[in-house]
């Protein structure tokens, strides 16, 4: 599957214990440093310094907060139906030995619904365990975008608000399998006959299981700036495309950290119980 850009951006705010009035939006900008593999299963990676947006929006439909950017299509006490988004960075094949001579991988985006079921919530509402069931269509980001299949990433997500010495910090933990369609896996792991070499035989990637992911993140909003960091561990053992000559490593780690400065907040305030 894709090289996941787990951008540790400023989508986090301190979760209050009860409903209170907060600004409708908060906006800022910063920078992040990331260490990522070229793609999931690559034995080569890069370090990146990228701009990091700080965005908090507490609208009735569109929300951007410590739970991510989402559009709430339906919400009840236990069930939410949201819009789920994800993205990946491009890969220059001339800089990756396994893909030398093959077409570059374009940046891609994913968009689709996510059904989210609250399994447990603390009495003060600050901690939450959810089962998330996102299903997203993937497409390349280029002058003529192409559909590259679909991705499903069911997971358990635990959000915790720091207390005591860690008050003000937010922590997130996520774990779950990944699945992709044949077209999705073929885009990243297939080798067309014209690009086959003695060391890289032709390969047609099937759809199905794509490995397992673990992610931990921490963030804190201070008066005028935000700090955040994440670490992600992936295993591709048993993946449907495990025989691909482009899969060079079946486990990997990715990490990143960012800082953003809050430039402005709205005068309009809304009641929220984040």
Which whole-number Å values give the CA distances from 113 to 22, 81, 84, 86, 133, in the listed order? 27, 7, 6, 12, 8
Helix (H, G, I), strand (E, B) or coil at 124: coil
Give this prediction's pTM.
0.85
CA dihedral 18, 22, 24, 30 (to 10 degrees): -110
% the chain with pLDDT above 90: 72
Task: Give me the pLDDT at residue 260, please.
Answer: 96
Question: Cα dihedral sign for 222, 84, 236, 99?
Answer: negative
Task: Give me the pLDDT at residue 36, please.
Answer: 95
Tokens of 112: 């689709």
How far is the C-alpha of 39 from the C-alpha of 211, rounded, in Å?
13
- The fold for domain 20-272 equals Outer membrane phospholipase (ompla); Chain C (2.40.230)
Query: CB-hemisphere CA count at 13 Å for 204?
Result: 2
Residue ranges per structural domain of the chain: 20-272
Q: Please name every residue paired with 197 in a beta bridge, in sequence order, or none if there are none.
A: 200
Task: Give me the pLDDT at residue 271, please.
Answer: 73
Any idea what the Cα angle at residue 110 is, between residues 9 and 108, rounded to 5°? Answer: 85
Tokens of 140: 């390349």
Q: Enumerate residues 6+ apart whose C-beta is below 8 A from 78.
A: 117, 118
Within the chain, which residues score under 50 in pLDDT?
1-18
Task: Give me the pLDDT at residue 22, please.
Answer: 80
């Amino acid at each position: 599957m894709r090289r996941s850009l787990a951008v540790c951006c400023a989508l986090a705010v301190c979760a209050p214990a009860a409903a209170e009035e907060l600004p409708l939006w908060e906006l800022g900008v910063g920078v992040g440093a990331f260490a990522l593999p070229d793609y999931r299963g690559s034995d080569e990676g890069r370090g990146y310094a990228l701009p990091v947006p700080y965005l908090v929006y507490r609208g009735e439909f569109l929300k951007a907060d410590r739970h991510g950017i989402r559009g709430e299509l339906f919400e009840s006490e236990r069930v939410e139906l949201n819009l789920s988004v994800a993205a990946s960075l491009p890969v220059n094949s001339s800089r990756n030995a396994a893909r030398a001579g093959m077409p570059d991988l374009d940046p891609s985006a994913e968009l689709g619904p996510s059904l989210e079921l609250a399994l447990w919530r603390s009495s003060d509402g600050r901690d939450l365990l959810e089962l998330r069931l996102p299903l997203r269509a993937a497409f390349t980001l280029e002058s003529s975008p192409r559909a590259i299949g679909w991705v499903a990433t069911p997971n358990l997500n635990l959000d915790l608000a720091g207390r005591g010495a860690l008050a003000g910090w937010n922590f997130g933990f996520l774990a779950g399998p990944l699945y992709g369609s044949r077209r999705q896996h073929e885009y990243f792991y297939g080798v067309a006959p014209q690009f086959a070499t003695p060391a890289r035989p032709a390969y047609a990637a099937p759809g199905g299981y794509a490995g397992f992911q673990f992610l931990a993140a921490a963030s804190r909003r201070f008066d005028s700036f935000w700090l955040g960091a994440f670490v992600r561990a992936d295993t591709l053992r048993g993946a449907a495309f495990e025989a691909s000559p482009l899969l060079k490593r079946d486990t990997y780690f990715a990490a990143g950290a960012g800082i953003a400065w809050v430039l402005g907040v709205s005068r309009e305030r809304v009641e929220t119980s984040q």
